[in-house]
Amino acid sequence: MTNPSFDFTNSFRDAALVKKVIEEIRRTVTRPWVLMEICGGQTHSIVRHGLDQLLPPEIELVHGPGCPVCVTPLEQIDRALAIASRPEVIFTSYGDMLRVPGSGRDLFSVKASGGDVRVVYSPLDALKIARENPQKQVVFFAIGFETTAPPNCMAVRQAQALGLDNFSVLVSHVRVPPAIRAILGSPANRVQGFLLAGHVCSVMGYWEYPPLAQQYRVPMVVTGFEPLDLVNGILETVKRLEAGIVEVANGYSRLVTFEGNSSAQKMISDTFMECDRAWRGIGVIPQSGWCLRPEYDLFNAEKRFDVAAIAPRESPLCVAGQIMQGLKKPHDCPAFGRECAPEHPLGATMVSSEGACAAYYKYGR
Amino acid sequence: MDIPDVTGAVCPVPLTHDEQIVMGHGSGGKMAADLIAKIFLPVFDNPALRAGDDGAVVELPAGRIAVSTDSHVVYPLFFPGGDIGRLAVCGTVNDVAMMGAQPAFLTAGFILEEGLALATLQRVAASMQAAAAEAGVQIISGDTKVVQRGKADGLYINTTGLGAVPPGRKLGGAQAQPGDAVLLSGSMGDHGIAVLAARGELGFETDVQSDCAPLNGLIADLLAACPAVHVLRDPTRGGVATTLNEIATQSATCITLFEKNLPVRPAVAAVCEMLGFDPLYVANEGKVLVILPRENADLALQVLRRSKYGADAALIGEVGQSPQGRVLMKTALGTTRVVDMLAGEMLPRIC
């Protein structure tokens, strides 16, 4: 960075810089546009900093399905609950999965009833627990988008290298490009431009997106998470919409390259394979998930524990699926803030801090 | 016939168990008395405790008494900037002080886990006495129970505090009024992050110290200079955001925070960013929120900043009328959002 007064912790939140970009958006926009930020972390940042209040009225932001906690399907949660309840199991998970409701209970209630449920920050911590507890079966709930896939693969491969027979992962991975394809291919689609998820692209690059942009004639901009990143991503998308340019641009070049992290991508493709995946509230999107390759069956918790038959149904009140497709806003839901609140969520979008409903509730929209 | 050699045979003397807590220490018998005599009495020494009766009899000025009780179950027992003993004294001293009272006496109830090292208990007791001496309070009565190994995390401490409330003083969450200023005596989240780091589970190291401290001196100075204070509250669990929500509800007012003015140490801000926490919801143990008429705010800040526990005091917000019961944030970007209470346990985010 050539400007010595620019620092990486504060300058991306600098009010004067953000307002300059907002002014440029105002000067650029001539008609209404609907943009979707794909990632839940971006939704959270937009609402936390009130960026939507600064935008001209022509620009509508709709919130995408990019919260991994929100989209993890009910059947995988119920399978997790069944596995975590077993006396021989230590069940490990990222923290915000603990509060996600399955059919009538969550991992917190399993823990309170005597299940050994532990919060970890990395699947490698789960691996360490497995090495320290050889008499126990240690299971890691491997959820997330492309961002969390490399460490999850790494844990499986290290377990294999160490010959651990008491470690397995319950995989519920999802991928961004098939979700974008499903949104754009829907007859009800309103989205005209995308802010792509910066952290996903730091792993995967953005080579997967130009064919999508061209097929559906929609510009896309790789976007970061700080206020300045977000308003800049919006500006670059609006510029292209106004000029009729369809392309994928990189607005997060301090972390993202076109190719991405090739060794991480190789590890993913060596460990995982594409599979159909149900997204909570949306339904099955073809080839939208990653599952373990058969050569890693030993580490597949779904195979190790007999849970495949668990196939439950959602609360009829919850409209999380339509919210995550950008068809509804959280306050369009009749249960929002009433039957459904962070203390007693009906759907996952109210649970995770990245969920659109939780963000609206927390920041009072 | 062989006769066993009995010279030198002795009746085995029971072990004294002076290295770790055993169930007998909670028996109420000789071992319990020994524990009190060896560990607690020499450290907490004062006439009421020395009398050795079922309860303490003490003198307090006539009038209203503020009473507060708090149980302390912190893990680990020792963390940078404090320990469970200092916390148990400061937590209750501060709660009594928040009522505008001058804390004078504490009682202490100990729940000890079988197997706890006596050296640990000694260290905790010494730390309690150091904090009590700093706060100018006496620990006048106590109780000890022992539970089986595995039934507690080393030791738990309950403390109850007493202090006289000067005539005419009326503090409380319901007293906040539109037009009041909101002050915070220093940086947010130091205690919560220091304890989290000390657990060592999250794989990061930081030099953040807990802010655990007795605030009664600072509060006495503040109330002497600014008797018009409406609310004092220490933002412990749930942090500043949760405490202010309680006050907004109690007083049916709207509190607006100024994001730019919120004091947060860079290390705390960095850890929170990494883990997905918000410093507004992280616990403090040596901070006070002061709500008082705006015209007194500058003087109050000067008084707070003179104390070593208030050096970073800041004006962080103001009290308004509506929406009632809400806390709002004026962000650094000039936008406004709601600051809600913490819903449940603070959970780390996935990415």
Of B201, B345, B349, the CB nearest to A354: B349
State pLDDT tens for residues A237-295: 999 999 999 999 999 999 999 999 999 999 999 999 999 998 887 788 999 999 999 99
Q: Compare A97 and B5 and report the one with higher pLDDT.
A: A97
Give the model's pLDDT for residue B184.
Answer: 98
CB contact under 8 A, B350 and A125: no
| Interchain contact A354–B (C-beta under 8 A) | yes
Strands (E), chain A: 33-39, 59-66, 89-93, 116-119, 137-144, 167-174, 193-197, 220-223, 248-250, 272-279, 283-292
Q: Which ranges of chain B have pLDDT less than 50?
A: 351
The pLDDT confidence band at residue A1, using thresholds 50, 70 and 90, is: very low
How many domains does chain A contain in total?
Answer: 1
Task: Give the model's pLDDT for residue B345.
Answer: 63
**Structural domain boundaries enclosing A305:** 1-365
H-type alpha helices, A217-279: 227-243, 262-271
Overall average pLDDT of the A107-126 stretch: 93
Q: Using a CB-CB distance cutoff of 8 angstroms, which residues of chain B are in contact with residue A341?
A: 343
Under an 8 A CB cutoff, do A364 and B326 touch? yes
Tell me the average pLDDT of chain A.
Answer: 91
User: Can you tell me the ipTM of this complex?
Assistant: 0.80
Q: Would you say residue A343 has pLDDT above 90?
A: no
Is A146 within 8 Å of chain B by CB?
no
pLDDT of residue A354: 67
Q: How far A30 CA sits from the closest chain B CA (Å)?
A: 24
Which position has the token pair 């620990």?
A: B139
Task: Check CB contact under 8 Å for A50 and B349.
Answer: no
State the average pLDDT over residues A315-329.
80
C-beta neighbour count of A233 within 10 angstroms: 28
* Contact (CB<8Å) B344/A342: yes
pLDDT digits (tens, 9 = 90+) for A184-228: 998 889 999 999 999 999 999 999 999 999 999 999 999 999 999
The span from the CA of B273 to the CA of B267, in Å, is 10
**Chain B contact for A9 (CB, 8 A cutoff):** yes
Report the CATH number at residue A156: 3.40.50.11740
Evaluate if residue A233 carries a pLDDT over 90: yes
Q: How far apart are CA A305 and CA B232, in angstroms?
A: 54
Contact B337/A at CB under 8 A: yes
The amino acid present at A233, given as its one-letter code, is: G
The residue among B225, B246, B235, B227 whose CA lies nearest residue B173 is B246
The reported pLDDT for the residue numbered A351 is 73
Domains of chain B in sequence order: 23-165 (3.30.1330.10), 173-338 (3.90.650.10)
- Select the residue of A54, A148, A362 nearest B335 (Cβ to Cβ): A54
